[in-house]
Copies of this chain bind each other. A is one copy, B any other.
Amino acid sequence: MLGGSAVHFALAASFFTEVRVVGPVGDDFTDEHFTVLTERGVAVDDIEQIEGGKTFFWRGHYDHDMNVAHTDETELNVFADFVPKLSPASHEAGVLFLGNIQPDLQRDVRKQASASFAALDSMNLWIETARDSLLAAIADVDCLLLNDAELRMLTEQPNLVTAANAAMDLGPGVVVAKRGEYGAMLFTADGPFAIPGMPLEEVRDPTGAGDSFAGGFLGYLDAVRVDGTHDERALRRAMAYGSVMASFNVEDFGTARVSSLSEDEVAERLAAFKRLTHFHE
């Protein structure tokens, strides 16, 4: 089914701002797939369709612990020879999200983009196989988003606070640790912020939750960016919107829930997150 970092990210971010997707797909990426994006107002003209190519493919499964995805099959396909070319509109975007991919590609895109706020996601595979390039990519962005286990692995620090501080020393002023069903944490010079996951009676498919989080987080930040910077209050609200979008993502398979979501539902769930987390001193 339709999925992938860029798709989940774009759909989530589209509730807050204008989104442009850059990346390659194959012939198997149908009009129906494009429509899922365009119906949410996502600009798809930077999606390069490779004739005779096959779209990137991932298959995995989850056991009892839905926080851990087990990869059964990965086909890079059209990503294997991809050379990103940013259109003028993408070049000028204010906020840039570098989805999880080979860090050389991330650095290439970062160089082409003039974004005043760039964020990067990665994974254990690149930490293990392309560490130096990944460290260079991280040094060039303002925000690092990783799972908490990956953040510990990257920095070789078993303690999450120490790991986040070490990650900030690599360059980014904003570090987000994603924690699956336990929510996410924000680390900045202003100190930590933690938001739990929304307790849900049914979790159908956690695939893409991290990218939906990034979409809500960065989409909101783009919407409220005034002078290219973000204050702590905006970053915290962005964390809440990221959690909102991730919580919808897991309620159904693939893009089913987020692509059919209403803005009222987003606002309602933000209020639910506030009820879930706030107490009076």
Contact = CB atoms under 8 A, between A and B. Distances in A.
Which among A161, A179, A182 has the highest number of chain B CB atoms within 10 Å?
A: A182
A270 B199 CA distance: 24
A199 B161 contact: yes
A72 interface: no
A54 to B, nearest CB: 36
Contacts of A182: 179, 182-183, 196
4 closest residue pairs by CB, A with B: A194-B196, A236-B279, A182-B182, A161-B199
Nearest to A267: B281
Contact of A276 (B192, B201, B240): B192
B280 A277 contact: no
A64 B158 contact: yes
A229 interface: no
Interface string A177-203: 001001101000001111111011111
A278 B196 CA distance: 11
A193 B275 CA distance: 7
Nearest to A237: B279
A183 B277 CA distance: 12
A276 B194 CA distance: 6
B275 A191 contact: yes
| Chain A interface size range | 35 or more
A197 B202 CA distance: 24
Contacts of A113: none
A193 B159 contact: no
A182 B278 CA distance: 16
A271 B159 CA distance: 23
A270 B280 contact: no
B276 A239 contact: no
A111 interface: no
A278 B279 CA distance: 8
B161 A193 contact: no
Contact of A274 (B192, B195, B196, B281): B281
A200 B281 contact: no
Which among A183, A199, A233 has the highest number of chain B CB atoms within 10 Å?
A: A199
Interface in A182-233: 182-183, 185, 191-197, 199-203, 233
Contacts of A236: 278-280
Contact of A199 (B194, B200, B239, B279): B194
A153 interface: no
27 contacts: A159-B200, A159-B201, A159-B203, A160-B199, A161-B199, A161-B200, A179-B182, A182-B196, A183-B194, A185-B196, A185-B199, A191-B276, A193-B275, A193-B276, A194-B197, A194-B276, A195-B196, A195-B277, A195-B279, A236-B278, A236-B280, A237-B280, A237-B281, A240-B279, A270-B281, A274-B281, A277-B277
